[in-house]
Amino acid sequence: MTHQNNKQIIGLFGFGVVGEGLFHVLQHSHTTNAEVRKICILDPKKERSIPKTHFTVNADDILNDPEINLVVELISDSEEAFHIVSRALQKGKSVVSGNKKMLARHLPELIELQKETGSALLYDASACGSIPVIRNLEEYYDNDLLLSITGILNGSSNFVLSKVFNENKSYPESVKEAQRLGFAEADPTLDMGGWDSLYKVVILALHGFGTIVNPDEVFISGISNLQAGDIRFAKEKGYRLKLVAQATKINGKSFNLMVMPKMVNEDEYIYNVENEYNGVIIEGSFYEKQFMFGKGAGGHPTGSSVLSDITARMHGYRYEYKKRKYFSIPEHTNDVVVKVYLRFKNLLDFSHFEFETIDEKLSSRNYNYVIGTIKLSNLIHIRKLIQTLDVFLAFFDIPEKRSGAGSPKSEAL
């Protein structure tokens, strides 16, 4: 089949950071046989860098155009995105999306829709921007040998942590700088609270292990409560704090997901991942650790990843969700014990945490912490409450005690 036969006539939804980035990247790609036919946006009055004739505010101009065979969905509203993606698949169009929240919240329906309609949905840009981690997990890494996927999956919070650690800036000051440079949204909760990393690790777990995990059953804790005392503690002990998402096999039958700041040792690959960069470590039984590093966000890096999906569709590529088909799928569990640093202001806040062991304690007028082990199931239980407390949590790279039976080997990174 020639390229001409496979020409991708694109209907693009969204012309923001990524949509416009993709448009530029496409103009520089001489090998992609694709043309953007129409772009659907929200605000027709907004100034655009290309002529107004490219745009529409009517989604049907794209969805009902029989010549458009590929919908690229890059909008900011996840529920509207789900609606657009579902309709496009039902109309037999291929879809490329970068919307991790939409994907993580609707994976079962989206997999089913692809099965029913025969249409394909690709979304490599949804996790880690330009780093091709999803397709690698889908195609390369064998389920039974894959032990863990760990990484810094969010560029905005990593940028803030770099400013705080390397330039001694305060947390609020660093968030403002990230917003000014376009690395963080006006509402930083999604990035700093760990939500963005959560949605990404849910997608990675599907392609790595084959299991669909409900994001509401995963423990997340972000960096929004980071204070000077936490930074001082980490620096004095030789750690750097990084917001880490991890999917870790416990044994052949189960695995755990979590998103939490981590006290990172200098011998860990992610120790030197700074600013808006992402880094992902994939660990297997026989190859030990492999490390992928690159720009995790931004118009052009993410646009390149979208372009890669467009080209993949040109060659007929689709996710087969191989791990779900050919392997016994491990179960998601929170039955693990983690070693954490918990900084708290008052004893009432501390009383909600049921520690298994306490290894170290410090109490002073304004700064108290405890280091010890705690069941993740306890943390999940109080996940919502924790967000209202004046506490900061981080975990350590010390082999975790699995509370589940039959844990032959610790795979903690």
What is the closest distance, in whole angstroms, from the C-beta atom of residue 152 to ligand NAP in the complex?
14
What is the closest distance, in whole angstroms, from the C-beta atom of residue 375 to ligand NAP in the complex?
32
| In the complex, residue closest to ligand NAP by CB | 16
Of 21 and 261, nearer to ligand NAP (C-beta) is 21
CB 120 within 8 A of CB 95: yes
40 is a contact residue toward ligand NAP (CB under 6 A): yes
CB 260 within 8 A of CB 248: no
CB 391 within 8 A of CB 225: yes
- Contact stretch for ligand NAP (CB under 6 A) within 64-72, 74-82, 108-116, 255-263: 74-82
State which of residues 10, 12, 18, 121 lies at the interface with ligand NAP (CB under 6 A): 18
Is 179 strand, coil or helix?
Answer: helix
State which of residues 26, 63, 121, 125 lies at the interface with ligand NAP (CB under 6 A): 125
- Token reading at 271: 């120790």
State which of residues 80, 177, 356, 397 lies at the interface with ligand NAP (CB under 6 A): 80
Element of type H or E holding 191 = helix 189-192
308 is a contact residue toward ligand NAP (CB under 6 A): no
What is the closest distance, in whole angstroms, from the C-beta atom of residue 213 to ligand NAP in the complex?
19
Q: Which residue has the tokens 């990484």?
A: 151
What is the closest distance, in whole angstroms, from the C-beta atom of residue 180 to ligand NAP in the complex?
15
State which of residues 6, 7, 9, 16 lies at the interface with ligand NAP (CB under 6 A): 16
261 is a contact residue toward ligand NAP (CB under 6 A): no
77 is a contact residue toward ligand NAP (CB under 6 A): yes
> How many angstroms from the chain centroid is the CA of residue 287?
24
State the Cα–Cα distance between residues 245 and 190, nearest whole angstrom.
14
Contact pattern from residue 128 through residue 157 relative to ligand NAP, giving x for each residue in contact according to CB under 6 A and a dash for the rest: -x----------------------------
110 is a contact residue toward ligand NAP (CB under 6 A): no
Q: Which of 75, 77, 87 is nearest to 12 (CA)?
A: 75
68 is a contact residue toward ligand NAP (CB under 6 A): no
For 200, 225, 236, 259, the CA distances from 229, given in Å and listed in that order, are 30, 11, 10, 21
Encode 66-115 in three state secondary structure: CCCCEEEECCCCHHHHHHHHHHHHHCCCEEEECCHHHHHHHHHHHHHHHH
State which of residues 10, 25, 36, 41 lies at the interface with ligand NAP (CB under 6 A): 41
State which of residues 17, 149, 202, 204 lies at the interface with ligand NAP (CB under 6 A): 17
What is the chain's Cα-based Rg? 22
Q: Which of 72, 111, 120, 73 is nearest to 92 (CA)?
A: 120
Which residues make Cβ contacts (< 8 Å) with residue 60, sequence separation at least 6?
none
Element of type H or E holding 302 = helix 299-314
State which of residues 8, 12, 14, 374 lies at the interface with ligand NAP (CB under 6 A): 14
- Contact stretch for ligand NAP (CB under 6 A) within 12-20, 134-142, 254-262, 314-322: 12-20
What is the closest distance, in whole angstroms, from the C-beta atom of residue 43 to ligand NAP in the complex?
4
Q: Which of 224, 214, 236 is nearest to 334 (CA)?
A: 214
Contact pattern from residue 263 through residue 302 relative to ligand NAP, giving x for each residue in contact according to CB under 6 A and a dash for the rest: ----------------------------------xx---x
Which residues are tagged catalytic?
Answer: 200
Which residue ranges make up the site for ligand NAP (CB under 6 A)? Answer: 13-19, 40-43, 46, 74-77, 80, 98-100, 125-126, 129, 297-298, 302
